[in-house]
Amino acid sequence: MDYPKDYPYAHDQDPGAPIRSGVPEHGRVPKYYAVKAHIAALIGELGEGGLLPTERDLAVRYEVSRETVRQALRELLLEGRLRRQGRGTVVAGPKLEQPLALASYTEGVRRQNRRPGRHLIGLDRFPCPVALAADVGVEAGDPVWHLERVLLADDERVGLESTYVAVSRVPRLDVDFEPDSSFYSYLHDQVGVSFGDADERIETVLATPREALLVGTPPALPMLLIHRLSRDVRGRPLERVRTLFRGDRFSFTVRLGERG
């Protein structure tokens, strides 16, 4: 099976594509990869939201087995170029770009003309364990909040956020805070606390069964996990945040400059 002639990855015309774009040096292209190339070209024709033909129809069209089609579709789903909708498969929109900066999720999503939102899973108060105390600036046993929310973009579930903060910093969090709003804005506007700086660490993980259920993804879908430790303008520990982002719906950007 040949590549479609206008498939960019087949001829390395896409500057963002890897060298040879997955084609082995011996030039023998795996059958599923050739099918993936044809489906990728079809994705370009259908456009965002376009309904893909069924696995059976694709297998007949490209004269391959349905398992070969499934393997091609699995990769395109993991890459975020397709998404499941009901019992069908449709063309996904572009990934959300979240800046690696001391800014809220709300700001990042709005910059891309998408509607941010959050769905509250729980707001709990409990004695701070030893492992968490230094990160939020309290003694072990002091009360802390755990705020857990599903992140939304245009009502699509795209992530899961857990925030830990000392009750002493935000004693009325369970009274004054609107769970679907920005926590950063709440701290700044109602509590009078401003963020100074933060440390972040990013890794790839697989979601737990519970996390996958909350975010609405298959457990095998790679997730981007961000750990953040934030401090206020006086350098005091403020919060610890653990955020899972869907790997098929998010990418991250950062601006680099020359060090002086």
Domain boundaries in the chain? 8-91, 96-253
The per-residue pLDDT for 24 is 53
Half-sphere exposure of 132 (CA within 13 A, CB side): 21
Residues of the chain with pLDDT under 50: 5-20
- Summary count for the chain: helices (H), strands (E): 8, 10
96-253 to CATH, choices 3.30.590.10, 3.40.1410.10, 3.90.1300.10, 3.40.50.150: 3.40.1410.10
- Residue 183 is encoded by which pair of tokens? 């926590």
Is-contact 247 215, C-beta < 8 A? no
Predicted confidence (pLDDT) per residue in 86-144, tens digit: 788 888 877 666 666 656 676 767 777 778 889 999 999 999 999 999 999 999 999 99
The per-residue pLDDT for 99 is 64
Task: In whole angstroms, give the CA distance from residue 113 to residue 118.
Answer: 16
Element (H, E) at 14: none
The per-residue pLDDT for 192 is 93
Task: In whole angstroms, give the CA distance from residue 13 to residue 23.
Answer: 14
- Residue 16 is encoded by which pair of tokens? 């963002």
The per-residue pLDDT for 124 is 96
Q: Specify which residues 227 forms β-bridges with.
A: 201, 242
Q: Tell me whether residue 16 is exposed, middle or buried, using C-beta atoms within 10 angstroms of its C-beta: 0 to 12, 13 to 18, 19 or more.
A: exposed
Which long-range contacts link 1-9 to residues 24+ away (Cβ below 8 Å)?
A: 1/29, 1/31, 1/34, 1/35, 1/38, 1/62, 1/63, 1/64, 2/34, 3/29, 3/34, 3/37, 3/38, 4/37, 4/38, 4/41, 6/41, 7/37, 7/38, 7/40, 7/41, 9/37, 9/40
Q: At 137, phi and psi to the nearest 5?
A: 75, 35
| The pairing of beta strand 195-206 with beta strand 116-127 | unpaired
Domain 8-91: assigned CATH number: 1.10.10.10
Q: How far apart are the first and last CA of the chain?
A: 54
